[in-house]
Amino acid sequence: MNNAEALKKIAGEAACEFVKTGMRVGLGTGSTVKYTVLELGRRIKEEGLNIVGVPTSVATQNLATEVGIPLVELGSLDGLDIVIDGTDEFDPHFQLIKGGGAALLREKIVAQQSAAMVVVADDRKQVDCLGAFGIPIEITPFACDVTVSVLASMLNCNVELRMDGDAHVLTDNGNCIADARIGPTINDPITTESNILNVAGVVQVGLFNNMCDAVVLASGDGVQTLMNPKGRL
């Protein structure tokens, strides 16, 4: 395991401290939160942890099932106690960019239904200004090139459809993913999110604003938990 992967494992496992017996837990998607899912599965098996989970992607669903986490449909619950998810970037105001794993729509639905959101990350994801990663945007396949063109004009940057060889990358919902190469320029992520969502053809955008309550951050110096002073935890 290389150093970056080791940091992901440390952060992913440390976030499990927020999970208590009886909780309804949103299970995020990505290479860091994978370790959260594995640790929760271990705690269920070895420590008798009693939880139910709601996965944010087919990949997470498959992993959670494999490690023995009981899963339920989000609509069968009256909300969630917590969601643990990864991030591609977070800024000093705990605003996020997500969607590198193409699961942003389901991730945002689950996050909005959660009483608290804990993000797991390594220190490469901590930025002063959002945007260097780009903005993942889920769009409908219909006239997707037109939608991309409108977004590029509005954002004044290159917007590219995410590809897998000659085929469009499709989300678990059957939609396309576009990446806006906007650079670290997002000084007002709330307005940016609203403007993108106003474009016909856009399903959801990977700006997660005013959702994150804490970041479990791993670095070469160890793990620290950054608490959002305006958060719910």
| Distance of alpha carbon 38 from alpha carbon 18, whole angstroms | 15
| Distance of alpha carbon 131 from alpha carbon 70, whole angstroms | 36
Q: State yes or no: is 107 an active-site residue.
A: yes
Asked if residue 138 lies in contact with residue 175, where contact means CB atoms within 8 angstroms, the answer is yes
Please report which confidence band the pLDDT of residue 201 belongs to, taking 50, 70 and 90 as the band edges: very high
Q: Pick the closest to residue 158 from 178, 142, 139, 187 (CA basis).
A: 178
**pLDDT recorded at residue 2:** 76
**pLDDT recorded at residue 220:** 86
The better pLDDT of the pair 3, 40 is held by: 40
Q: Among all chains, which residue has been given the structure tokens 């498959």?
A: 62
**pLDDT recorded at residue 233:** 94
**What average pLDDT does the segment 103-121 reach?**
97
Q: Pick the closest to residue 72 from 113, 12, 108, 103 (CA basis).
A: 113
| Distance of alpha carbon 130 from alpha carbon 92, whole angstroms | 10
Residue 90 has pLDDT above 90, yes or no: yes
Residue 84 has pLDDT above 90, yes or no: yes
Enter the pTM of the model.
0.95
Q: Pick the closest to residue 106 from 28, 37, 4 (CA basis).
A: 28
Which entry of 89, 107, 138, 193 is annotated as an active-site residue? 107
Domain architecture of the chain: domains with CATH = 3-126+209-227 (3.40.50.1360), 135-205 (3.30.70.260)
Vertex 181: Cα angle to 175 and 182 (nearest 5): 120
**pLDDT recorded at residue 79:** 97
Please report which confidence band the pLDDT of residue 3 belongs to, taking 50, 70 and 90 as the band edges: confident
Burial class (CB in 10 A: 0-12, 13-18, 19+), 128: exposed
The per-residue pLDDT of the chain, averaged, comes to 97
- Percent over 70 (pLDDT), the chain: 100
